[in-house]
Amino acid sequence: MSVLEMKVPSPGESISEVEIAQWLVADGDYVEKDQAIAEVDSDKATLELPAEDSGIITLKAAEGEVVKVGQVVCLIDTSAARPATSTPSTSSGEKVEVKAEEKAAPIAEKTAAPSPDPVKKEASYAAGTPSISAAKIMAENGVPANKVNGTGKDGRITKHDVISAMSGGFSTEDAQGWGGTREQSREKMSMLRRKVAERLVAVKNETAMLTTFNEVDMKPIMDLRAKYKDAFAKHHEVNLGFMSFFTKAVTEALNLFPAVNGQIDGNEMIFHNYADIGIAVSSPKGLMVPVVRNAEQMSLAEIEREIKRLAIKARDGKITPDDMANGTFTITNGGVFGSMLSTPIINPPQSAILGMHNIVERPVAINGQVEIRPIMYVALSYDHRIIDGKESVGFLVKVKEMLENPERMLFGAKDPHAVLLGL
Q: Is-contact 406 224, C-beta < 8 A?
A: yes
Instruction: Kindly state the DSSP code that residue 114 receives in the 8-state scheme.
Output: P
**Active-site residue set:** 384, 388
> What is the β-pairing status of strands 17-23 and 66-68?
antiparallel
Q: Is-contact 219 374, C-beta < 8 A?
A: yes
Q: Is-contact 240 225, C-beta < 8 A?
A: yes
Q: Is-contact 311 303, C-beta < 8 A?
A: no
- Give dist(CA 295, CA 302) in Å, integer: 9
DSSP states along 121-175: PPPPTTTTPBPHHHHHHHHHHT--GGGS---SGGGPBPHHHHHHHHHH---HHHH
- Give dist(CA 313, CA 290) in Å, integer: 9
Backbone angles phi, psi at 253, to 5 degrees: -70, -35
Q: Strand ranges (DSSP E) for 234-387?
A: 262-265, 268-271, 277-279, 281-283, 286-288, 291-292, 329-333, 352-356, 359-366, 369-383
DSSP states along 193-256: HHHHHHHHHHHHHHS-EEEEEEEEE-HHHHHHHHHHHHHHHHHHSS---HHHHHHHHHHHHHHH
Q: Is-contact 17 71, C-beta < 8 A?
A: no
- Give dist(CA 320, CA 47) in Å, integer: 7
